[in-house]
Chain A
Amino acid sequence: MRGDGAHARPMVGHVPDPPSTVGPRFPEPPTAADEETERFLRPYAVDAGTADRPTDDPVEHEDDLDMLTLLVAARLPGEREVLRPERETILLRAVRARTLAELAAELRLPFSQVRSIVAHMIADGSLQRCGPSRPLERQDILHAVLVGLRSL
């Protein structure tokens, strides 16, 4: 069974879990009948970017994202971001690789919320995770950090 209309969108971070029903974490995709009730969204909610997509798409990346996950924009902001300033900002900031922590700080939104938005943006191909150009061994990192700190 589906929750009531106000809970039909995955406003991650704000919506309490639906009352212990079995089934998917997110409600099923909206049907035409739902469209009427689903307009009653809180005006301050920042959606995770799923409003134009079926809401039960797996967001498999989210749990893997941490403060230091590096992200780079796969494209420039376009029409899809017209009414989504958060996503636009992320794409503009991430022209160069940025950590998730930096993006959250620059957006002035709670980290968990930005992580959710970013996870969806990775899923739809707007953002890419990236690893370091030159992966280093832990010991090499430590020695380099020591040298770098000493020269501060």
Chain B
Amino acid sequence: MASADSETGRGTPEAIPQAVKIIVAGGFGAGKTTLVASVSEITPLSTEEVMTEASYGVDDLGGVESKSTTTVALDFGRITINDDIVLYLFGTPGQDRFWFMWDELAAGALGAVVLADTRRLDTCFHAVDFFERQGLPFVVAVNRFDGSEPYEAAEVREALDIPAAVPVVMADARDRDSCRDVLVELVTHVIRSRSPAMTG
């Protein structure tokens, strides 16, 4: 079916894909933008909101080495799945003051990735809490930074008090294959977590 469209496909106004999204959350500097950039087919775009110079001296950069760019607002990337579906990856604003944007971001999302920075695990508590409350399926991806302690997934799970059903995976946000695996893990988890609800 899809192949019939593929010739004329994306250039024609008739072929309008379904836009779906996955949320990439985590603390400030956890590597969300890096992850999005690793798998996106486009250079990540950013919707601008008013927050640039004001961040100096306000954002807590303790423990975040050499982070030269700040996620000003919402960075997002895109993956064309097929002629019918385009997947958008939205990085959440890392700063607490943008908390109000999360509701809108999470609405209708397929699922979420919580990127954990083991140097500052506490920064992703918010995200874990939020997605649990929303009932949005998520996985925790432990971003392995150079110089960070080599924690085991089990230790992170315990530290964050993650239920057994939620996958915790190790990842490297800079590595495309690694990020792809995280997303595959997430979508597999979403499908799995939907199955019981559908059968009974």
Question: Secondary structure of the B side of the interface?
Answer: mixed
B194 interface neighbour in A97, A142, A149, Cβ under 8 Å: A142
Q: Please determine whether A152 and B79 come into contact, CB atoms closer than 8 angstroms.
A: yes
Does A101 sit within 8 A of B, measured CB to CB?
A: yes
Closest to A142 in B: B191
Q: Most chain-B Cβ atoms within 10 A of its Cβ — which of A102, A109, A147?
A: A102
Q: Please determine whether B48 and A108 come into contact, CB atoms closer than 8 angstroms.
A: yes
Stretch at the interface among B11-19, B124-132, B166-174: B11-19
Q: Please determine whether B18 and A67 come into contact, CB atoms closer than 8 angstroms.
A: no
**Chain B residues within 8 Å of A138, by CB:** 194
CA A86 to CA B85, docked complex, whole Å:
28
Does B138 sit within 8 A of A, measured CB to CB?
A: no
Q: For chain A, give the interface size range.
A: 35 or more
CA A105 to CA B73, docked complex, whole Å:
11
CA A105 to CA B72, docked complex, whole Å:
12
B104 interface neighbour in A67, A110, A146, Cβ under 8 Å: A67
Does B121 sit within 8 A of A, measured CB to CB?
A: no
B108 interface neighbour in A68, A101, A139, A146, Cβ under 8 Å: A68
Q: Please determine whether B16 and A132 come into contact, CB atoms closer than 8 angstroms.
A: yes
The number of residues on chain B lying at the interface, defined by a beta carbon within 8 Å of a beta carbon of chain A, is 45
Does A48 sit within 8 A of B, measured CB to CB?
A: no
List CB contacts (< 8 Å) of A80-97 with chain B.
95-97
Q: Please determine whether B16 and A133 come into contact, CB atoms closer than 8 angstroms.
A: yes
Contacts A67-B105, A96-B11: A141 and B188 contacting too (C-beta < 8 A)? no
Does A78 sit within 8 A of B, measured CB to CB?
A: no
B76 interface neighbour in A101, A112, A146, A148, Cβ under 8 Å: A101
Q: Please determine whether B110 and A141 come into contact, CB atoms closer than 8 angstroms.
A: yes
Q: Please determine whether A143 and B191 come into contact, CB atoms closer than 8 angstroms.
A: yes
B184 interface neighbour in A135, A139, A149, Cβ under 8 Å: A149
CA A72 to CA B17, docked complex, whole Å:
12
A136 interface neighbour in B11, B18, B79, Cβ under 8 Å: B18
CA A74 to CA B88, docked complex, whole Å:
24
A146 interface neighbour in B15, B49, B88, B184, Cβ under 8 Å: B184
Stretch at the interface among B26-34, B39-47, B62-70, B151-159: B39-47
Task: Quote the shortest CB–CB distance from A133 to chain B (angstroms).
Answer: 5
Residue interface bits A117-152, CB-to-B below 8 A is 1, else 0? 000000000000011111110110111111111101
**Chain B residues within 8 Å of A109, by CB:** 48
Does A11 sit within 8 A of B, measured CB to CB?
A: no
**Chain B residues within 8 Å of A134, by CB:** 18, 84
CA A13 to CA B76, docked complex, whole Å:
22
Residues on B facing A (Cβ under 8 Å): 10-11, 13-21, 39, 45-50, 73-74, 76, 79-82, 84-85, 87-88, 90, 104-105, 107-108, 110, 176, 180, 183-184, 187-188, 190-191, 194, 198
